[in-house]
Amino acid sequence: MIVHHKHPVVMNVEEVTERAEPRAFSPHDDMPEEYRKAATRMIQFHANSEIMGAYLERPFIRQAPSLDRKLAFSAKVQDEIGHGQLLYRAAESLGIKTRAEMLDELATGEGKFLNCFHYPMTEWWETPMIAFFVDGAAMRRQATIKRTSWEPYAHAMDKICFEEGFHIKHGEDIMRTLATGSRREQQLLQEAFEEWWPRILQFFGPTDDRSTHHDFSERVGLKTMSNDELRQAFLNAYLPKAQKYGLEIPDEPRIRKEDGRYIVEEDDLDWEEFWEIASNEYAGSHEQIDSRAATQEAVAWVRNAIDRSEQP
């Protein structure tokens, strides 16, 4: 059961804004409802994404071409599920929703998650797109959340960022193997990159002028960098890495180099599809969500057994 800690004075949003930097807030602080709801939405979205990312990669525990690769993917999937559980607890500490409620929302299609995890991934040569590029993008974002104003979220990020560093190395090793393999392997890697590159660039969400939640989240210290700033930092770091492994950058979306920075023409990206995904209305979303729902239903008997064992 979630307990709200009551104190005589409850902070308003202006007080939170003034105190958010460099202070972090804990469940012992009486936060305004607007803050609690915004933080819950942000952390729940993050937790859902960790779970759905694990589901996307889970088939490669069996499909991986060697025992070492199978073990690595098994560890990675286990890590991602663990990250989701940590984040659900951090969200639960805000007192708005329980972990069980958030998991139910994910299974029914009400819960939102990252765009990249709505698309199917079926082939081995696609795996570096998630394990290297998407996890690399996630690390860019998550490193900034270590300074978020909700303390349980910041603490969770310490462990998550540590493990994500290994995930990126794992993905880079697969990419290196494919990039230095046969001509056919190099071609398949390039095709996967061309398909996933626009999705990866949309990982950070809509452009700042279209973002509906950023301004408030930044004001109260939940976020410290905007979507555009994070996308820019990722481009500067990862576009050269893609080229290092022989990947050719697609003609669209157009990218230009200006004053030492790579700048993407964001209007070239399919934002209409992105917003379909954001509302869980994309055609591929239903398959991913249904898979999660089926798994939750399959293990319902375990939860029921645990609940009965805990009853007096």
> What gap in Å lies between CA 97 and CA 46, rounded to an integer?
15
Task: Count Cα neighbours of 264 within 13 Å in the Cβ-side half-sphere.
Answer: 28
Domains in the chain, CATH or no CATH each: 30-310 (1.20.1260.10)
SS (H, E, C) the chain: CCCCCCCCCCCCHHHHHHHCCCCCECCCCCCCHHHHHHHHHHHHHHHHHHHHHHHHHCCHHHHCCCHHHHHHHHHHHHHHHHHHHHHHHHHHCCCCCCHHHHHHHHHHCCCCCCHHHHCCCCCHHHHHHHHHHHHHHHHHHHHHHCCCCEHHHHHHHHHHHHHHHHHHHHHHHHHHHHHCCCHHHHHHHHHHHHHHHHHHHCCCCCCHHHCCCHHHHHHCCCCCCCHHHHHHHHHHHHHHHHHHCCCCCCCCCCEEEECCEEEECHHHCCHHHHHHHHCCCCHHHHHHHHHHHHHHHHCHHHHHHHHHHHCC
What was the pLDDT predicted at 209?
A: 83
How far apart CA 126 and CA 188 sit, in angstroms, is: 8
Q: Check whether 7 has a pLDDT greater than 70.
A: no
Work out the average pLDDT over 79-96. Answer: 96
pLDDT tens digits for 143-185?
A: 999 999 999 999 999 999 999 999 999 999 999 999 999 999 9
The predicted pLDDT at position 145 comes to 93
Residue 291 bridge partners (DSSP):
none
For 196-232, how does the pLDDT look when each residue is reduced to its tens digit (9 = 90+)? 999 999 999 988 888 877 788 888 999 989 999 999 9
In this model, does residue 292 exceed pLDDT 90? no
Residue 310 is predicted with a pLDDT of 66
Tell whether the model's pLDDT for residue 4 goes beyond 70: no
CA distance 153 to 141: 13
Whole-prediction pTM value? 0.89
- Per residue in 262-280, pLDDT tens? 889 989 999 999 999 999 8
pLDDT band at 20 (very low <50, low <70, confident <90, very high): low
